Amino acid sequence: MLTAKQHELIRFIQQKLEDTGISPSFEEMKEALDLKSKSGVHRLISALEERGFIRRLPNRARALEVVKLPEDAVMGSPKPAPANDAVSTALTAKAGAPEPANDIIDVPLHGRIAAGAPIEAIEGQSSMPVPAALLGPGEHYALEVSGDSMVEAGIFDGDFALIKRTDNARDGEIVVALVDNEEATLKYLRRDAGRVRLDPANSAYEAQMYEPHRVQVQGKLAGLLRRYH
């Protein structure tokens, strides 16, 4: 069951596609729904995507496709056929439409991952434009990588790590771990004999072992951006 804002957003996306053949930008969606930030739009998009109402076209940003509509969101067009026919009807209606253009999402940039401060201590410092196609569902933030402890995983000093905010992760995933509520680090997470092991991706460094209560997962790696000078 969709919320009122989710209903409003999917109606707006569908109307924009019908009128122009181009999915609306995040700025247009923010203004249409009277939201304070684009992050609110991103959360609504993610919720609709998880419920199967929309999907992002691969390898492109500003590229949303309405897969199905709630029954009260057809907006004057013929009511979709039931079951699987509803999907094919929605897709056929957009046949021949121009391909959507790219879109950019502003994600919070929290600072340098090896700065030795908790993520919360530097939150809201600035933001960073990121192609929406690099981000999946969920809330994200960016961190500038400092140091060479993850070079064998292809993560270098000065890179920007795109992090999906979460407080749990599976063994073998690269996470942002907050140790003793003081120092944030980007490492492989593994659990070993009742302890938490943070593994670097550089043979010159040793793994770090901690009691579970000393380590808090604050996110896991979702993508990487690199600037070439």
Cα 142 from chain centroid?
10
191 CB neighbour count, 10 Å cutoff: 11
Per residue, the 3-state secondary structure of 167-202, as one string, reads CCCCCCCEEEEEECCCEEEEEEEEEECCEEEEECCC
Burial grade of 71 (CB within 10 A; 0-12, 13-18, 19 or more): exposed
Please tell me the least confidently modeled range out of 54-63, 119-128, 147-156.
119-128
**Residues designated catalytic:** 149, 187
Q: How big is the chain, counted in residues?
A: 229
8 and 44 Cβ atoms separated by less than 8 Å: no
114: confidence class by pLDDT, cuts 50, 70, 90: low
| pLDDT for residue 60 is more than 80 | no
Radius of gyration of the chain (CA): 21
Model pLDDT, residue 71 = 63
End-to-end CA, the chain:
49
Give the mean model confidence (pLDDT) for residues 4-23: 83
Please tell me the least confidently modeled range out of 29-33, 56-60, 138-142.
56-60
Domains of the chain plus CATH, in order, are 4-93 (1.10.10.10), 104-225 (2.10.109.10)
Mean pLDDT of the chain: 76
Q: What percent of the chain has pLDDT over 70?
A: 76
Tens-digit pLDDT profile for residues 208-226: 999 999 999 999 999 888 8
Q: What percent of the chain has pLDDT over 90?
A: 16
Model pLDDT, residue 119 = 46
Tens-digit pLDDT profile for residues 116-151: 334 443 444 577 788 777 777 888 888 888 888 889
172: confidence class by pLDDT, cuts 50, 70, 90: very high
Closest CA to 107 of 168, 153, 165, 156: 165
Q: Which of 24-38, 128-142, 160-174 has the highest mean pLDDT?
A: 160-174
Q: φ, ψ for residue 107 (rounded to 5)?
A: -110, 150
Cα–Cα distance for residue pair 105/127, rounded to 1 Å: 10
